[in-house]
Chain A
């Protein structure tokens, strides 16, 4: 059950990304282009997703444990430091350059477009590079 649930969660997430237009770089860049011909669609994606998590997460976290695991693995760190801001800033620049964040980039691999493979390969290289030179303390 635990494994089936993990697969289904990923599947629903992937359907959501494809339906919402997050796997379409033109739409994402249009959303970020507030000074141009603004595409507001993705505000509804973020709004819809956050609405659900805001309502459900507090109820779920009231449980003593998850359904199929021993305990919750939820970040406890509350630190707002240069590492958080700098990392998020760099991530946003990369997002604005091409139009993919990690989830949609992976989902879009199934469209078999060569540039997506280049993007994901570079993203993996970036992740491993950062983990090597700036490991989390």
Chain B
């Protein structure tokens, strides 16, 4: 169980952040949505850029204070990074949300729509890894 205390704590912090954003700004902490709002120049945009800045400062703070090493770089080639990034961008925009927007916040709102989206991307994520690793014998 001890091994799971840190991931659990990380999850609780993510949930607390989402709750605090809703309480203070009245906004949903969906990163894909916040990112799209920021780059498409929507009105009342300062909170989005500040939230995104915090998202970058957070890991620096965590690794420097905890002493936990930064994760090793992915051993996947840049072709995986391009394909993965493109599909994540297209999918989250068309499906109106990502792990945080649909998963963490949508389920918190008891939204069936978000629950369906979450089950869908979990299923295709698991299937994709299965196909790449076990059927195609990839890395």
Residues of A participating in the B interface, judged by any CB pair closer than 8 Å? 1-3, 5-27, 29, 32-36, 40-42, 44-54, 56-58, 60-61, 63, 65-75, 77-80, 83-103, 105-111, 113-116, 118-131, 134, 136
Contacts and interface: CB of A to CB of B under 8 A. Distances in A.
Interface of B: 3-4, 6-29, 31-32, 35-36, 39-40, 46-48, 50-63, 66, 68, 70-76, 78, 80-100, 102-113, 116-118, 120-130, 132-134
Nearest to B92: A91
Given A54-B108, A115-B74, 11 more contacts: A3-B47, A9-B51, A19-B68, A48-B15, A67-B23, A88-B116, A88-B121, A96-B125, A99-B84, A113-B73, A129-B89
A14 B36 contact: no
B95 A52 contact: no
B55 A14 contact: yes
5 contacts: A16-B58, A48-B12, A74-B26, A84-B95, A122-B82
A97 to B, nearest CB: 4
Contacts of B50: 3, 6-7, 10
Given A15-B58, A80-B116, A126-B85, A9 B133 contact: no
A3 B46 contact: yes
Contact of B86 (A6, A50, A100, A122): A122
B85 A92 contact: no
A87 B95 contact: yes
A6 B51 contact: yes
B15 A53 contact: yes
Contacts of A86: 94-95
Contact of A94 (B46, B60, B87, B96): B87
- Which of B59, B92, B103 is most buried by chain A, counting CB atoms within 10 A of its CB? B59
B58 A11 contact: yes
Contact of A124 (B18, B39, B102, B110): B39
Nearest to A134: B94
